[in-house]
Amino acid sequence: MDVKLGELSSWILTRDFTPKGITGAFQRGYNRYYNKYINVRKGSIAGVNMVLAAYVLFSYCLSYKELKHERRRKYH
Amino acid sequence: MLSRVVLSAAATAAPCLKTAAVLGPGALQATRIFHTGQPQLAPVPPLPEYGGKVRLGLIPEEFFQFLYPKTGVTGPYMLGTGLILYCLSKEIYVITPETFSTISVVGLLVYAIKKYGASVAEFIDKLNEQKIAQLEEVKQASIKQIQDVIELEKSQQALTQKRHYLFDVQRNNIAMALEVTYRERLHKVYKEVKNRLDYHISVQDMMRRKEQEHMINWVEKNVVQSISAQQEKETIAKCIADLKLLSKKAQAQPVM
């Protein structure tokens, strides 16, 4: 990455945390993903696949609280 | 480049603009400069052919490249296997009946994609190509139309260069008309002058004729007056004698 680990805190402080800045950050992230995997001539299914996998993981994390009760063993 | 033209035009126009106070705002407009930077994205760059590479349909290639220096080729796979076993053993991922349905659905999807992916991609590519070909046609037609208009404009501009033929023809016509009227008038003048001169000549002729006639009449009258009776008798006798001589000669001639 372009930011070194030691400079991470100072780099985070330079970021723009206004609503406009956060919107801009989401827009930039979306545009980056879109232009790399979807807005191409011969796109593969991986572009959509990664988004779906991320959604699956996210929804699993959200419903982990109920799934905890269906564990087979109590102590791991 | 256009800015330099505007500046030079403004500089040459500035003296007259300064004198004309009414054109004050016009001077300000003329000195503003537009479009000085290089045009960016002017021919829009074409779309990349393929997207970023992804392994197993889920994990981008950059992750594998990131781990390659430290762990070699099998590193990320080992990491994946270890993470999965850890999640299973610690029951961070809980095996429920849903797991089996998930496995069957995912297996079916993978099989379907592996089998029919290529043909579907071809079909969609063909559709895309058709769309692009249509747009290209429109673009080419528009370019051709604009080129035709340019050709027409150029030919019409060339026509203005040939206007002088028109003017030459008109000039020739006018010159001929002038020549014709000049000759007509010349002829008229000649006729008139000849007319006058003929009149004088005929007057002179008539005068001479009249004088001649008068003179002849006068001479005749005088001669007749001057012939007395005696002279008349002598001449008649002489005429008779001459006639007798002539008749004798005439009689002698046929005999010979």
pLDDT in tens, B37-95: 777 777 788 888 888 888 888 899 999 999 999 999 999 999 999 999 999 999 899 99
Q: Which residues of B touch A (CB under 8 A)?
A: 47-52, 54, 57-58, 60, 89-91, 93-96, 113, 117, 121, 125, 128
Of B48, B90, B94, the CB nearest to A67: B94
The beta-carbon neighbor of B51 closest among A47, A72, A76 is A47
B31 contact partners, CB below 8 Å, separation of at least 6: B6, B7, B10
CB contacts of B45 in chain A (<8 Å) are none
pLDDT tens digits for range B177-196: 999 999 999 999 999 999 99
- The answer to whether A70 contacts B96, with C-beta atoms less than 8 Å apart, is yes
* Per-residue confidence band for B23, with pLDDT thresholds at 50, 70 and 90: very low
The neighbouring-strand residues paired with B54 are B60
Q: State the DSSP H helix or E strand holding residue B29, giving kind and residue range, or none if neither.
A: helix B24-31
In chain B, which residues have their Cβ closer than 8 Å to the Cβ of A38? 51
Mean pLDDT of A55-74: 91
CA distance A4 to chain B (A): 15
- Per-residue pLDDT, B160: 86
Tell me the pairing of strands B59-60 and B54-55.
Answer: antiparallel
Interface test with B, best of A36, A40, A41, A75 (most B CBs within 10 A): A41
A59 vs B contacts (CB less than 8 Å):
none
Distance from the B84 Cα atom to the nearest Cα atom in chain A, whole angstroms:
13
First to last CA, chain A: 37
Q: Give me the percent of chain B exceeding a pLDDT of 90.
A: 55
Taking an 8 Å cut-off on Cβ atoms, the answer to whether A37 and B49 are in contact is no
- The nearest CA of chain B is from the CA of A65 a distance in Å of 11
Q: Identify the band that residue B204 occupies on the pLDDT scale cut at 50, 70 and 90.
A: very high
State the pLDDT confidence band at B9, using cuts at 50, 70 and 90: low
pLDDT, tens only, B111-141:
999 999 999 999 999 999 999 999 999 999 9
Report the distance separating Cα A10 and Cα A18, nearest Å: 17
Query: Could you tell me which of B65, B60, B130, B195 has the C-alpha nearest to residue A53?
Result: B60
Task: Please list, residue by residue across B192-212, b when 16 or more beta carbons sit within 10 angstroms of its beta carbon and e when fewer do.
Answer: eeeeeeeeeeeeeeeeeeeee
ipTM: 0.81
Rounded mean pLDDT of B149-178? 93
Query: Distance (Å) from the C-alpha of residue A30 to the closest C-alpha of chain B?
Result: 15
Beta-bridge mates of residue B59: B55
Q: Are B95 and B88 in contact (CB under 8 A)?
A: yes
Report the domain count for chain A: 1
C-beta atoms of A43 and B52 within 8 A: no
Within 8 A of A53 by CB-CB distance, chain B residues are: 58
Q: Quote the crossing angle between the two packed helices B163-226 and B97-161, to the nearest 10°.
A: 20
Q: Report the residue from B54, B91, B93 with minimal CB separation from A44.
A: B54
Q: What angle (nearest 5°) sits at the alpha carbon of residue B101, between those of residues B98 and B107?
A: 135
**B60 and A50 in contact by Cβ < 8 A?**
yes
The parent domain of residue A32 ranges over 5-72
pLDDT reported for residue B28:
55
In B, minimum Cα distance to A53 occurs at: B58
